[in-house]
Amino acid sequence: IWWLDPELTYGNAKPFVFTQGHSVCNRSFFPCFDTPAVKCTYSATVKAPAGMQVLMSATQSTYSEEEGVYRFYMEYPVPAYLVALVAGDLTHADIGPRSRVWAEPCLLQTAISKLSGMVERWLTAAESLYGPYIWGRYDIVFLPPSFPIVAMENPCLTFIISSILESDEFLIIDVIHEVAHSWFGNAVTNATWEEMWLSEGLATYAQRRITTETYGAAFTCLETAFRLDALHRQMKLLGEDNPVSKLQVKLEPGVNPSNLMNLFTYEKGYCFVYYLSQLCGDPRHFDSFLRAYIEKYKFTSVVAQDLLDSFLNFFPELKEQCVESKAGLEFERWLNATGPPLAEPDLSQGSSLTRPVETLFRLWTTEPLDSAAAASSADLTQWRTFQTVLFLDRLLDGSPLPHAVIKKLSECYSSQLDSMNAEIRIRWLQIVVRNDYYPDLHKVRRFLENQMSRMYTIPLYEDLCTGTLKSFALEIFYQTQNQLHPNLRKTIQQILSQGLNPLPAIDTTAGTADTPAMVLEDKVSEATNGAISLRDVNVSA
Q: Angle, nearest 10°, between helix axes 283-297 and 197-215?
A: 130
Distance CA 248, CA 251 (A): 9
Active site residue 178: yes
Cis ω before 368 (30° cut-off from 0): yes
Check whether residue 356 and residue 452 sit in a common domain: yes
Q: How do residues 324-362 score in pLDDT, each as one tens digit?
A: 999 999 999 999 999 999 999 999 999 999 999 999 999
Among 317, 346, 375, the domain boundary falls at 346
Q: What's at 43, amino acid-wise? A: S
First CA to last CA distance, the chain: 17
Annotated binding-site residue? 285 = no
Q: Which of 178, 194, 195, 267 is catalytic?
A: 178
pLDDT value at position 513? 33
Determine the average pLDDT of the residues in 257-271: 93
Check whether residue 388 and residue 331 sit in a common domain: no
Check whether residue 12 and residue 123 sit in a common domain: yes
Q: Is residue 113 included in any domain, yes or no? A: yes
Q: Is residue 526 included in any domain, yes or no? A: no
Domain housing 243: 192-346
Determine the average pLDDT of the residues in 212-241: 96
pLDDT value at position 500? 58
Q: Is residue 301 included in any domain, yes or no? A: yes
Non-local (6+) Cβ contacts of 257 within 8 A are 23, 24, 193, 196, 251
Q: How do residues 64-79 score in pLDDT, each as one tens digit?
A: 999 999 999 999 999 9
84 has pLDDT over 60 = yes
Check whether residue 109 and residue 239 sit in a common domain: no
Q: Is residue 178 included in any domain, yes or no? A: no
Residue (of 414, 346, 427, 345) closest to 386 by Cα position? 427
Q: Is residue 522 included in any domain, yes or no? A: no
Determine the average pLDDT of the residues in 252-267: 90
Residue 114: CATH number of its domain: 3.30.2010.30
Residue 491: CATH number of its domain: 1.25.40.320
Q: Is residue 74 included in any domain, yes or no? A: yes
Average pLDDT, whole number, for the chain? 92
117 has pLDDT over 60 = yes
Q: Is residue 186 included in any domain, yes or no? A: no
User: In this predicted structure, which of 168-177, 256-265, 509-518 has the lowest mean pLDDT?
Assistant: 509-518
Q: Where are the alpha helices (DSSP H) in 165-245?
A: 168-181, 197-215, 217-238
Q: Do residues 323 and 279 lie in contact, with contact meaning Cβ atoms separated by under 8 Å? A: yes
Check whether residue 153 and residue 28 sit in a common domain: yes
Active site residue 266: yes
Check whether residue 64 and residue 129 sit in a common domain: yes
Annotated binding-site residue? 181 = yes
Check whether residue 328 and residue 360 sit in a common domain: no
Q: Please count the structural domains in the chain.
A: 3
Check whether residue 341 and residue 425 sit in a common domain: no
Among 294, 311, 346, the domain boundary falls at 346
Q: Is residue 425 included in any domain, yes or no? A: yes
255 has pLDDT over 90 = no
Determine the average pLDDT of the residues in 254-274: 93
Q: How do residues 10-47 score in pLDDT, each as one tens digit?
A: 999 999 999 999 999 999 999 999 999 999 999 999 99
pLDDT value at position 258? 86
Check whether residue 199 and residue 309 sit in a common domain: yes
Check whether residue 342 and residue 401 sit in a common domain: no
Q: Which of 76, 138, 266, 461 is catalytic?
A: 266
Among 346, 372, 390, the domain boundary falls at 346
pLDDT value at position 515? 29
526 has pLDDT over 90 = no
C-alpha distances (whole Å) from 525 to each of 279, 362, 449, 512 are 47, 42, 28, 26
Residue 244: CATH number of its domain: 1.10.390.10
Check whether residue 373 and residue 477 sit in a common domain: yes
505 has pLDDT over 70 = no
Q: Which residue has the higher pLDDT, 534 or 231?
A: 231
Determine the average pLDDT of the residues in 480-500: 91
Task: Provide, rounded to the nearest whole percent, the portion of the chain with pLDDT above 90.
Answer: 89
Distance CA 73, CA 57 (A): 9
Check whether residue 492 and residue 367 sit in a common domain: yes
Annotated binding-site residue? 22 = no
